[in-house]
Structure 1
Amino acid sequence: MENSDRRTGDHSGDSDDADTTPDAATADQPSPMTEEAESENETGRTAKKPFWRRPVFLILLLALLAAIIAGGLYYWINIAPYESTDDAFVDADIIQVTSQISGQVIKVSVGNNVAVKKGDLLVEIDPAPTRAALETATAQLAQAEAEKQQAEASVAQAKQQAAEAKANLDAANVKADNAQQNYERNKRLFESNSAAISDMAVDDSQANALQVQAQAKASEQALATASTNVGVAEAKVAAATAAIKAAKAQVDANRIQLGYTSITASQAGTIVQNNVGVGAFATKATPLMALVPDDIFVTANFKETQLDRIRPGQDVDIYVDAYPETEFKGKVVSVQKGAGQAFQLLPPQNATGNFVKVVQRVPVRISMTNPDPDRYVLGPGMSVTPSIRVD
Structure 2
Amino acid sequence: MKNYIISILTMAVLASCGNKEDKEAAEKAKADSLAKVPTTNNRILGVARIEPEDGILNFTAGTSGKVLAVLIKENQIVQKGQSLITIENSLENAQLAQSESKIATQKAAIAVNQANLEAAKVSLKNARDTYERNLRLFEGNAQTKQAVDDSKATVDRLMKDVETAAANIEQSKSRISELQADINYFRTAVNQKKVNALVSGKVLKVAVKTGDYVTNTTQIAEFAPTGSLIAKTEVDELYAEKIQLGQKAFIISQTTGDTLANGSVSYAADYLKQKSLFKDQSTEQEDRRVRDVSIRLESGKMPLIGSRVDCVILLK
Same fold (TM over 0.5): yes
Structure-2 residue corresponding to 1:300:
233
Q: Secondary structure at the match of 1:86?
A: strand
Structure 2 counterparts to residues 154-303 of structure 1, below 5 A: 154-175=116-137, 179=139, 205=141, 210-211=145-146, 214-215=149-150, 217-218=152-153, 222-223=155-156, 225-295=157-227, 296-303=229-236
Q: What's the CA shift for 1:319?
A: 1.0
What amino acid does structure 1 have at the position aligned with 2:263?
K
**Given that residues 261 and 297 in structure 2 are in contact (C-alpha distance below 8 angstroms), is that contact kept between their aligned partners in structure 1?**
no
Q: Distance in 1 between matches of 2:137 and 2:271?
A: 93
**Of the candidates 260, 280, 285, which is equivalent to residue 326 of structure 1?**
260
Count matched residues: 266
Structure 2 counterparts to residues 91-170 of structure 1, below 5 A: 91-92=51-52, 93-111=55-73, 113-118=74-79, 119-170=81-132
**Given that residues 317 and 387 in structure 1 are in contact (C-alpha distance below 8 angstroms), is that contact kept between their aligned partners in structure 2?**
yes
Deviation per CA, 1:36-59, whole angstroms, max 9, x where unpaired? xxxxxxxxxxxxxxxxxxxxxxxx
Larger Rg: 1
Q: Distance in 2 between matches of 1:340 and 1:168?
A: 95
Structure-2 residue corresponding to 1:367:
296
Q: TM-score, normalised by structure 2?
A: 0.65
Q: What's the CA shift for 1:307?
A: 5.3
Q: Distance in 1 between matches of 2:304 and 2:196?
A: 23
Instruction: Spell out structure 1 runs of 4+ moving beyond 6 A.
Output: none
Q: Secondary structure at the match of 1:263?
A: strand
Q: Secondary structure at the match of 1:114?
A: coil
Percent identity between matched residues is 16
**Given that residues 244 and 265 in structure 2 are in contact (C-alpha distance below 8 angstroms), is that contact kept between their aligned partners in structure 1?**
no
More helix by percentage: 1
The verdict on how the C-alpha distance between 1:155 and 1:359 changes in structure 2, with shifts beyond 3 A counting, is: farther
The verdict on how the C-alpha distance between 1:385 and 1:307 changes in structure 2, with shifts beyond 3 A counting, is: same
Aligned CA RMSD, in angstroms, stands at 4.0
Q: Distance in 2 between matches of 1:306 and 1:230?
A: 88
Q: Distance in 1 between matches of 2:271 and 2:137?
A: 93
Bigger RCO (CA 8 Å, 6+ sep): 2
Q: Distance in 1 between matches of 2:303 and 2:83?
A: 23
Structure 1: gaps of 5 or more residues: 1-74, 183-204, 342-356
Q: Distance in 1 between matches of 2:310 and 2:127?
A: 91
Q: What's the CA shift for 1:96?
A: 1.9
Q: What's the CA shift for 1:286?
A: 1.0
